[in-house]
Amino acid sequence: MARFVITGTGTDIGKTVLAAGLCGLIGADYWKPVQTGLAHDLPNPVAGGRRQGLSPMDGSRAYLPVAGTDSAEVEHLSGQPVHPEAYLLREPLSPHRAAELNGVEIDPADLTPPDADRLVVEGAGGVLVPVTRDILFADLFAQWQIPVILVATTGLGTISH
């Protein structure tokens, strides 16, 4: 079983590209539990932020990712299957805040990784980003017991992250 979590010291540092490369290299599926920062001109892909009629555990290989998401980018770059996000939120903010602005309550029960032998999971933002008011991504990573790969820049100050 080869399962990894990709997280970072922040946003826009290469988590998605690394996730795509790792998926392609080991033939892994990809899952991003919460996608924030969708383009505002996209049609609303979900009702209230939470996917309706799709379960992240359904194992469906017929899922077509929403354009502009990290899932779409990973599928394009790696050619590997992607699993539906549990939540898609428009604002480019932490999941907890983006959900609040959309009137959505993120249910931690929806944030269980898909049952795949080879899986790469990508967090949103960094390790200490709040998923809800009470749960950080670090808490989920510890609960999942999946090895974590931390993506960081090489700039001054990175060591303090």
The 10s digit of each residue's pLDDT in 24-82 is 999 999 999 999 998 655 554 443 444 543 444 444 455 788 989 999 999 999 999 99
Strand partners, 118: 2
- pTM score, two decimals? 0.86
Domain that holds residue 61: 32-66+85-112
Considering the domain boundaries, does residue 118 fall inside one? no
User: 58 and 14: one domain?
Assistant: no
Considering the domain boundaries, does residue 16 fall inside one? yes
d(CA 25, CA 22): 5
Instruction: Please report the pLDDT score of residue 160 as a whole number.
Output: 73
SS3 63: coil
Number of domains in the chain: 2
Contact between 153 and 15 (Cβ < 8 Å): no
Contact between 95 and 129 (Cβ < 8 Å): yes
User: 91 and 56: one domain?
Assistant: yes
Catalytic-labelled residue, pool 32, 50, 83, 90: 32
User: 1 and 61: one domain?
Assistant: no
Known catalytic residue at 32: yes
Considering the domain boundaries, does residue 61 fall inside one? yes
Rounded to 5°, the CA angle 158-159-161 comes to 70
